[in-house]
A and B are shown apart, each in its own frame.
Chain A
Amino acid sequence: MKNDLQSEAYLRMLKIRGFEQAVTRLVTEGEVPGAVHTSIGQEAAIVGACMALKRDDYISGTHRSHGHPIGKGAELKPLMAEILGKVTGVCKGRGGSMHFTDTSVGSIGESAIVGGGIPIATGAALTAQVRRTGQVALTFFGDGASNEGVLAECLNMAAVWKLPIIFFCENNGYAAVTPARNSHGQPDVARRGEGYGVPGVIVDGQDFEAVYKATEAAVGRARSGEGPTLIEAKTYRFDEHCVGLFINGNYRPAEEISHYKNERDPVTLFRTSLLTSGMTVGALLEIEGEASRLVEDAVAFAKDSAFPDPEEAFELVHANPIPIRR
């Protein structure tokens, strides 16, 4: 892999980590309306997948929505402003934390309906195929969404029509607080692809390069007309399902959490691998400094931005407006 790709990947992973840490801090300061779900621990899976895509390729995602557009290269300021419900937010304060969308980088919507982003990306792949644009689509979903029927429907249709799509499962082992072992008849989500004629691949989601290579291969298949691939990245969520959610009941063993945080942190693992492959400490520090600056600037921008005028609630309902009564 080229050095600049690795630098960019490291920067994006750090941007996600820093963004999520800043959001968590803002939640504790009482600045954030609504529920917030962070991606800390899942950065290599997200960025590994996104770096294998072009800027105009499509992604859709989940309620754990922040990492995906950042991984795809989105600017942080409008995202952070959206978290705070500000008028400068990427969705003008109408979407919030669970629904990031930034079409400027091909992010066509994170969905708070579990599995909801799957048919959206499959439809974007249909557009790419019909219009012969050469674009591909990738949909991020969790192990929880793998039990939604719409995944089966879309895997099948994508296989029948050889659509240019990658079904990318971030399997972090828990659907909210229910362990996958209690809700999956087949623990490997990737193996479900075979039943629909879709090749399934399992990768270590904490390993950036493994994820990147698997996604790059799937993207190649999609672009050359060979159809969909199902990738399952085995990963781990470091924080609670939802920031500030207190679960009384030890659904995750403390040793499991500390194992992942201490031994399997994707950012630390990637940093070590970059050093091993010859990147200098100075170069790494420069990237780390840039990520911190970008996050700080985003927080300042979001805090300084105004809230929307309540009257704006009545705008953007339709492209071709109809009367809306008060």
Chain B
Amino acid sequence: MNDNNTKRMTYLDALGLAQREELEGRDDTIIIGEDIALYAAGGAYGNTDASRIRSAPISECGFAGMAVGAAITGLRPIVDLTIANFIYLAADPIINQAARLRYMTGGQFKVPVTYRASMWHSQANAAQHSDRPYPMFMNIPGLKVVCPATPEDAKGLLKAAIRDDDPVIVFEDNDLWGKKGDVPLDTNFVVPIGKARTHREGSDVSIISVSGSLRHALKAADDLAKDGVSADVIDLRTLLPLDNEAILATLAKTGRVVIVDPAHRTMGAAAEIAAIIVEDGFDMLKKPVKRVVTPDVPIPFSPPMEAPLYPNPERIAAAARELM
């Protein structure tokens, strides 16, 4: 896998590479966010014209909305909202403007804006810094929502988001920022929005993974293999739109499904995935659908309380065994 066309790098470096390529490679991209200029001075954006790098005041609603105005008038803004909880401050322009302006104006606009939001869970930052808010935005027609789980997908999905003519939110798993993987160096490499990826072929049970749960799902699959249980592991990668075909294809292989989603249980991504399975694949089910999710409690600060709340390999494997 590590040939001349790929380089081993972290998830964070892959995001940075995607951003730099899209800023350097075209003149309509701009980046807006808090503390952005500091990174520019460090060369993070290569030789991009300084007017396209906007270190914003702490005004999330304002600059998230400005990005919509810039997008409908010909720019292609990347808005770095940093910690995902801050997206709530920017929710009005994302939901009421970005997601709807094309529709409400009878197609007079494209809205090519990308919002980056990094989910800082698992790091003892308590409930105001640890959210995984993607399910709320899956409920907003007009948006697209992606959740890369590998460095390769981080690069490819961020580039796809920037190039897309619709508003896309990229929810990054901050717990993956330091994790390494092989990343294609081709400046035209993108991962198509709306396509899941199979990471492991199996025949007994399907593990459908969301966001950074992928590595836990793969570890669980290794453990299950030792017991002779063959797991099919897919990473959805995009949550809006969901890849219904991939969901039903893995169900067809196994008839047993564990959905792993680090968002909270009630109305999480897993709930919609389960609904699709029940609506469209009920006859293929050999057992009820299982969800491995985060319970409906605010994320506590103290690590011994926080850690067990999220999906982990043990909980995933246990859920799969219950289906066998």
Contacts and interface: CB of A to CB of B under 8 A. Distances in A.
A111 B105 contact: no
Nearest to B164: A320
Contact of A130 (B59, B75, B97, B101): B75
B93 to A, nearest CB: 6
B68 A319 contact: no
A321 to B, nearest CB: 9
B58 to A, nearest CB: 9
Interface string A193-215: 00000000000000000000000
A156 interface: yes
Interface stretch (B48-56, B247-255, B291-299): B48-56
Interface stretch (A38-46, A101-109, A228-236): A101-109
Contacts of B216: none
A101 B104 contact: yes
A92 B106 CA distance: 5
B42 to A, nearest CB: 22
A127 B92 contact: no
Contact of A316 (B66, B107, B194): B107
Contacts of B109: 103, 108
B164 A109 contact: no
Given A89-B106, A319-B102, A119 B51 contact: no
Given A153-B57, A322-B241, A119 B106 contact: no
Interface in B89-110: 92-93, 96-97, 101-110
Interface in A87-142: 89-95, 99, 101-103, 108-109, 111, 113, 116, 118-131, 137
A322 B102 contact: no
Contacts of A91: 104-106, 108
B62 interface: yes
A94 B65 contact: no
A146 interface: no
Contact of B73 (A58, A92, A149, A317): A58
A323 interface: yes
A108 B166 contact: no
A126 B105 contact: no
A160 B57 contact: yes
- Of A90, A127, A318, chain B has the most CB atoms within 10 Å of the CB of A318
B52 A122 contact: no
A279 interface: no
A126 B62 contact: no
Contacts of B97: 109, 111, 113, 116, 119-120
Interface string B220-256: 0000000000000000000011001000000000000
8 contacts: A94-B103, A119-B61, A123-B65, A125-B69, A150-B61, A150-B62, A316-B106, A320-B166
Interface of B: 30, 51-52, 54, 56-57, 59, 61-75, 77, 92-93, 96-97, 101-112, 141-142, 144, 164-166, 193-194, 240-241, 244
Interface of A: 58, 60, 89-95, 99, 101-103, 108-109, 111, 113, 116, 118-131, 137, 149-150, 153-154, 156-157, 160-161, 315-320, 322-324
Given A119-B69, A120-B69, A154-B59, 14 more contacts: A91-B106, A94-B105, A103-B105, A119-B61, A119-B63, A119-B66, A122-B65, A126-B30, A126-B75, A315-B107, A316-B103, A318-B142, A322-B144, A322-B240
